[in-house]
């Protein structure tokens, strides 16, 4: 089946950049923001940030938030969050040199898992250039078996829930 059968049209000439995606999130839908400068190496041959870099921005925002609050010690925490699912929707191009703002909120908080909603904003823009999700399942560092999210982490994660 060609792209036509998937609802995307025949090619880029049939749609503006990113129009195949859902509604773009706004800044007010998120609890915190982290600025991250793009690097020359983030650009691809098409002159915009390569899609793989978006996941690096998401990962950096989540883990930096945890580490800065003393909730994650990458070498010693008994319970660690492993990524089990990620996704990203692209709405507009980002490129070097630019500082992107990674927005973060908690979308769902389970017994052993948390689903983060994230978005990337160009500086000063009200609508996201991209948005996605990131699911951590907390596991015992040694056995890699699921464990309840530790109470201290759960309490901090609750502050990222946007009503």
Is 5 inside any structural domain? Answer: no
Is 15 inside any structural domain? Answer: no
Is 122 inside any structural domain? Answer: yes
The pLDDT tens digits for 82-104 are 999 999 999 999 999 999 999 99
- Please report the pLDDT score of residue 124 as a whole number: 86
Query: Is residue 142 predicted with pLDDT exceeding 50?
Result: yes
- CA-closest candidate to residue 95, choices 64, 132, 125, 54: 54
Give the pLDDT mean for 18-35.
82
Is 8 inside any structural domain? Answer: no
Query: Is residue 56 predicted with pLDDT exceeding 50?
Result: yes
Q: Is the Cβ–Cβ distance between 128 and 94 less than 8 Å? A: no
Query: Is residue 5 predicted with pLDDT exceeding 70?
Result: no
What span, in angstroms and rounded, lies between the C-alpha atoms of 91 and 26? 12
- Please report the pLDDT score of residue 115 as a whole number: 98
- Strands of the sheet containing 130-140, edge to edge, are 32-37, 99-109, 113-122, 130-140, 79-90
- Please report the pLDDT score of residue 42 as a whole number: 95
- Please report the pLDDT score of residue 3 as a whole number: 31
C-alpha distances (whole Å) from 42 to each of 36, 85, 152 are 12, 22, 35
For residue 110, give the CATH number of its domain. 3.10.129.10
**Total domain count, the chain:** 1
Query: Is residue 11 predicted with pLDDT exceeding 70?
Result: no
- CA-closest candidate to residue 92, choices 19, 32, 30: 19
163 pLDDT band, cuts 50/70/90, is confident
Is 132 inside any structural domain? Answer: yes
Helix (H) or strand (E) holding 52: helix 51-68
- Please report the pLDDT score of residue 69 as a whole number: 97
Is 94 inside any structural domain? Answer: yes
Per the structure, the complete domain to which residue 78 belongs is given by 26-158
Is 16 inside any structural domain? Answer: no
Is 63 inside any structural domain? Answer: yes
More confident residue, 13 or 126: 126
Number of other CB atoms surrounding residue 62 within 10 Å: 22
């Amino acid at each position: 089946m060609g792209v036509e059968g998937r609802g995307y049209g025949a090619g880029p000439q049939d749609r503006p950049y990113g129009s195949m995606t859902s509604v773009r999130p706004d800044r007010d839908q998120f609890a915190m923001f982290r600025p991250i400068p793009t690097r020359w190496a983030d650009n691809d041959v098409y002159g915009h940030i390569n899609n793989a870099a978006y996941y690096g921005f998401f990962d950096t925002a989540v883990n930096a938030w945890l580490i800065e609050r003393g909730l994650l010690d990458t070498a010693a925490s008994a319970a660690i969050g492993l990524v089990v699912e990620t996704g990203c929707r692209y709405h507009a191009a980002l490129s070097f040199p630019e500082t992107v703002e990674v927005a973060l909120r908690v979308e769902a908080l389970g017994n052993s898992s948390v689903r983060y909603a994230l978005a990337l904003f160009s500086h000063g823009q009200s609508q996201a250039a991209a948005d996605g999700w990131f699911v951590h399942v907390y596991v015992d560092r040694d056995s890699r078996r699921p464990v309840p999210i530790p109470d201290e982490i759960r309490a901090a994660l609750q502050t990222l829930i946007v009503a």
